[in-house]
Chains A and B, each alone.
Chain A
């Protein structure tokens, strides 16, 4: 599998365990971007000349591939710059005109800052109430709390599909059902940044209203992301960023906006990135979900086992691989042993092992469980092997040795 990823040819001993931060790129994705720049790098939906038409067709085709990938319609796919931009788009385009004072926004204690801060700021400016679904001591969402938290005032619930720290997969379908049973008018946004690269997502089956994800965590390019919007919701949204390509008619005193999704994509979009994201999805589909999920589950088990063997390691998240992914955050439960930041440095410099250290953009969650100096996080992608995990273990043992 590593043969498909040129980065391993250029960094032969790289042990990459940071796929939750960004996925590495297969050759087909890189070539697809290059193809655009080398063969048809024209603007889209503008020129009548051949290469502009090719660019438009490839861009539109990618939207279809993405729609098919998550079982949506192409006009329900808005291209953005990433998950963060997707969530902010909802907070701005939907939130600012639908949230009023005393309304309630519900999120969870396991959100990444990018699915927390936009709602916190929206609530602040509208004098709305922001409520949190708690995380239990088992690191799961406290679903019993929903019956109290969701009220007639709840306008939106925003939650992550998979925690980027705990690795936990939330039962989204069941949660949405419960929410809509209590208040059928409540909308649900799901942050899919950590999910779409690891298991199939069907937005129709989930019954979700908004679904946000990034291209780069899906083995695609940086700078491109997706916001799925259930087309029924479009009528309650309005563009907040204006420019060319998003309008049908402009007069001195008024503008007629194009239909969604185009009215939310003003200006020249990241064309090469959008096209290459389609290729990233094709890459995943070619391997197949069965193979990917089985491989990653086996590896997650192996990783959890190996880390559990360290007597002084505390895992921030469930120890069993049921309902969780291979995103494992941990820290030494002994102040004499290296802090996460030291571990990250030591394992990288001595063993070329890439892990993430710190709070992983989820500071309140770390503090909730007493991990005040953060954690080290090892996260898996489809290219990882048991050997990578063995190398991590070897490097952790080395870090311990230095400090004792």
Chain B
């Protein structure tokens, strides 16, 4: 239990590295009505590569911290590759095994990015 709220989660929750918006970036939003998480993500994509990623959101510590960690993970990667990522990769990065309910919190950022479809060809 104490594992779940280990330093990395609390740290990233209180002081996220990637908080903010990107002017002119692709914007996407995801909500988890079950717990009240709401995350907005901005991606700056150049030639299909994610040059920068930022987010804003309110919700539980897991959703905020995991999204912040995800932003670090995806910078420099092809957006099409990121959309193929599995939630397990986020869990591995955090280093915590999550219960099925909390997986939804941790995956919220990735679920948002997977929703980017229409504009992909123009990025």
Indicate whether A278 reaches chain B with its CB closer than 8 angstroms.
no
Indicate whether B102 reaches chain A with its CB closer than 8 angstroms.
yes
Indicate whether B92 reaches chain A with its CB closer than 8 angstroms.
no
Q: Are A373 and B5 in contact, CB atoms less than 8 angstroms apart?
A: no
Which one of B10, B33, B58 contacts A403 once the chains associate, using CB atoms below 8 Å?
B10
Q: Which residues of B contact A350 (CB under 8 A)?
A: 1-2
Q: Are B5 and A358 in contact, CB atoms less than 8 angstroms apart?
A: no
Q: How many residues of B contact A (CB 8 A)?
A: 22
0/1 interface trace, chain B 1-19, chain A, CB 8 Å (1 if under): 1101100001000100000
0/1 interface trace, chain A 332-360, chain B, CB 8 Å (1 if under): 00011011111011100110000001110
Indicate whether B45 reaches chain A with its CB closer than 8 angstroms.
no
Q: Are B59 and A339 in contact, CB atoms less than 8 angstroms apart?
A: yes
Q: Which residues of A contact B4 (CB under 8 A)?
A: 345-346, 349
Indicate whether B68 reaches chain A with its CB closer than 8 angstroms.
no
* CA–CA, A336 and B14, complex, Å: 7
Which one of A336, A341, A349, A372 contacts B38 once the chains associate, using CB atoms below 8 Å?
A372
Q: A340-B35, A349-B1, A357-B35 are in contact. Are A402 and B60 (CB under 8 A)?
A: no
Indicate whether A363 reaches chain B with its CB closer than 8 angstroms.
yes
* CA–CA, A353 and B36, complex, Å: 20
Q: A346-B1, A402-B5, A403-B10 are in contact. Are A339 and B34 (CB under 8 A)?
A: no
0/1 interface trace, chain A 311-346, chain B, CB 8 Å (1 if under): 000000000000000000000000110111110111
* CA–CA, A335 and B64, complex, Å: 12
Indicate whether A225 reaches chain B with its CB closer than 8 angstroms.
no
Q: Are B10 and A340 in contact, CB atoms less than 8 angstroms apart?
A: no
Closest chain-B Cβ to A387's Cβ sits at a distance in Å of: 21
Q: Are A341 and B33 in contact, CB atoms less than 8 angstroms apart?
A: no
Which one of B1, B14, B37 contacts A373 once the chains associate, using CB atoms below 8 Å?
B37
0/1 interface trace, chain B 48-88, chain A, CB 8 Å (1 if under): 00000000001111110000000000000000000000000
Which one of A336, A358, A403 contacts B34 once the chains associate, using CB atoms below 8 Å?
A358
Q: Which residues of A contact B113 (CB under 8 A)?
A: none
Q: Are B1 and A341 in contact, CB atoms less than 8 angstroms apart?
A: no
Q: Which residues of A contact B2 (CB under 8 A)?
A: 350, 402
Indicate whether B105 reaches chain A with its CB closer than 8 angstroms.
yes
Q: Which residues of A contact B58 (CB under 8 A)?
A: 335, 339, 372-373
Q: Are A342 and B60 in contact, CB atoms less than 8 angstroms apart?
A: yes
Q: Which residues of A contact B1 (CB under 8 A)?
A: 346, 349-350
**A residues 21-57 in Cβ contact with B at 8 Å:** none
Q: Are B5 and A341 in contact, CB atoms less than 8 angstroms apart?
A: no
0/1 interface trace, chain A 365-400, chain B, CB 8 Å (1 if under): 010000011100000000000000000000000000
Q: Which residues of B contact A372 (CB under 8 A)?
A: 36, 38, 58
Q: Are B36 and A358 in contact, CB atoms less than 8 angstroms apart?
A: yes
Q: Which residues of A contact B60 (CB under 8 A)?
A: 338-342, 345, 373
Q: From A348, which residue of chain B is reached at the shortest CB distance?
A: B1
0/1 interface trace, chain B 87-123, chain A, CB 8 Å (1 if under): 0000000000001011001000000000000000000
Q: Which residues of A contact B33 (CB under 8 A)?
A: 358-359, 363
Q: Which residues of B contact A339 (CB under 8 A)?
A: 35-36, 58-61
Q: A350-B1, A372-B58, A373-B60 are in contact. Are A341 and B36 (CB under 8 A)?
A: yes
Closest chain-B Cβ to A215's Cβ sits at a distance in Å of: 25
* CA–CA, A52 and B98, complex, Å: 49
Which one of B14, B34, B38, B62 contacts A342 once the chains associate, using CB atoms below 8 Å?
B62
Q: Which residues of B contact A342 (CB under 8 A)?
A: 5, 60-62
Closest chain-B Cβ to A242's Cβ sits at a distance in Å of: 34
* CA–CA, A150 and B45, complex, Å: 54
Q: Are A341 and B37 in contact, CB atoms less than 8 angstroms apart?
A: yes
Q: Are B61 and A338 in contact, CB atoms less than 8 angstroms apart?
A: yes
Q: A349-B1, A359-B33 are in contact. Are A341 and B14 (CB under 8 A)?
A: no
Q: Which residues of B contact A336 (CB under 8 A)?
A: 14
Q: From B58, which residue of chain A is reached at the shortest CB distance?
A: A373
A-B residue pairs in contact (CB < 8 Å), sample of 20 = A338-B60, A339-B58, A340-B60, A341-B62, A341-B63, A342-B61, A344-B35, A345-B4, A345-B99, A346-B4, A346-B5, A349-B1, A359-B36, A366-B36, A373-B36, A373-B59, A374-B35, A402-B5, A402-B10, A403-B61
Q: Please name 13 further chain A to chain B contacts, defined as beta carbons within 8 Å, in addition to the given A338-B60, A341-B63, A342-B5, sorted by A numbering.
A: A339-B35, A339-B36, A339-B58, A341-B105, A342-B62, A344-B35, A345-B99, A346-B5, A349-B1, A349-B4, A358-B33, A358-B36, A402-B2
Which chain B residues have a beta carbon within 8 Å of chain A's beta carbons?
A: 1-2, 4-5, 10, 14, 33-38, 58-63, 99, 101-102, 105
7 closest A-B pairs by beta carbon, nearest first, are A374-B36, A341-B60, A341-B35, A349-B1, A373-B36, A339-B60, A342-B60
